[in-house]
Structure 1
């Protein structure tokens, strides 16, 4: 499959959108995203700049070039974040031709075949889920409108949603952030009507019922 410019540009935009969060919240320990740059067109890659919060001096920043192609697919924004978390920690040996400079910053060209990506965290998945619900890519908001959320455990997130007319009041949906998010998001409005998954006996005063979707 050959990826045209528009497909690469769209993926670049999605990566930028995800990494915007890490301008304020560290991506790795105390390291923040200080820039996301489109690599030269012939490379089909993205360049991400990391450094301390509020750092601007080029010699204190590090840029990584990560190729976007992986076989017949493109790396996802989460793939890029996972690679960055690995290459920016510990000691990594780069061949001389993989180290250069750009705009005064040291630039490392990453070979993903030599890197074991860091695992995607539950916070990563939670951010994706909440951002989709709050700002869907389509013009129409999802039927399950987000009204709030609460972390209940390392792998349990409670979503508070309002669902037009199908379920009166606020419904709390307990989900596993690292599950099949795409399928869950598509099915969420209909799952809120599943009586076998629902309890009205809840000590949570912020909702009228709770739907347990952690095993879905």
Structure 2
């Protein structure tokens, strides 16, 4: 397998990993992910199947083929989700050569140049943050272990964390989903001991203290 092909396969695997969540949670309105298919190798694309929850009948499922390449880069899993949310809502007219069938399902070939991706939601950001904390990519034990979470407001997420460098007991960190997630994840363990941002005796019996990182 060439390096270029390996890059495509790795990206397809990442897309499948993200969209697994939408087997049980709708991706858009009442539509769920019913399949993620690697398109034939010559296309450098991914195919995603949408339908009602628990649907299996091919004639009631819709497949969308989305090219993975965009210039010299590859579309991210979030790019694919955003495009799917747009193409599966409203009315979209496809040229005849972009409509076909595969395995009994209607197949639409998406031209991203004609589609405005749906915006990334706070829940999308929150899911990304929670997945990174719950399943870190490194084999080393995480410096801050995720013990729980609570949505407090559309732009406020409470993380319940246990960290060796923090005082004893569970620390709750209030964060705003979105923005520089990579920077937040890297800095989070050291921020849990910021006394000027810490409140004790908060009205939350699930933690020993609350660290307000919403302005970080």
- TM > 0.5: yes
Instruction: For residue 140 of structure 1, report the CA deviation from its aligned partner.
Output: 1.8
Q: Secondary structure at the residue paired with 2:126?
A: helix
State the partner residue of 2:116.
Answer: 116
After TM superposition, where is structure 1 displaced by more than 6 Å over at least 4 residues in a row? none
Using the TM superposition, name which of 107-116 and 166-175 deviates more.
166-175
Asked if 1:159 is matched to 2:159, the reply is yes
State the partner residue of 2:64.
Answer: 64
- Within 5 Å, give how 1:121-132 maps onto structure 2: 121-132=121-132
State the partner residue of 2:180.
Answer: 180
CA distance in 2, matches of 1:15, 1:167: 38
State the partner residue of 1:73.
Answer: 73
TM-score, normalising length: structure 2? 0.96
Q: Secondary structure at the residue paired with 1:66?
A: strand
Contact 2:60–2:105, Cα closer than 8 Å, also in 1 = yes
TM-score, normalising length: structure 1? 0.96
CA distance in 2, matches of 1:198, 1:9: 44
Contact 1:167–1:193, Cα closer than 8 Å, also in 2 = yes
Q: Secondary structure at the residue paired with 1:178?
A: coil
Using the TM superposition, name which of 32-41 and 176-185 deviates more.
176-185
Which runs of no fewer than 5 residues in structure 2 stay unpaired?
A: none
Which runs of no fewer than 5 residues in structure 1 stay unpaired?
A: none
CA distance in 2, matches of 1:76, 1:3: 18
Contact 2:170–2:208, Cα closer than 8 Å, also in 1 = yes
State the partner residue of 1:135.
Answer: 135
Contact 1:64–1:109, Cα closer than 8 Å, also in 2 = yes
Asked if 1:98 is matched to 2:98, the reply is yes
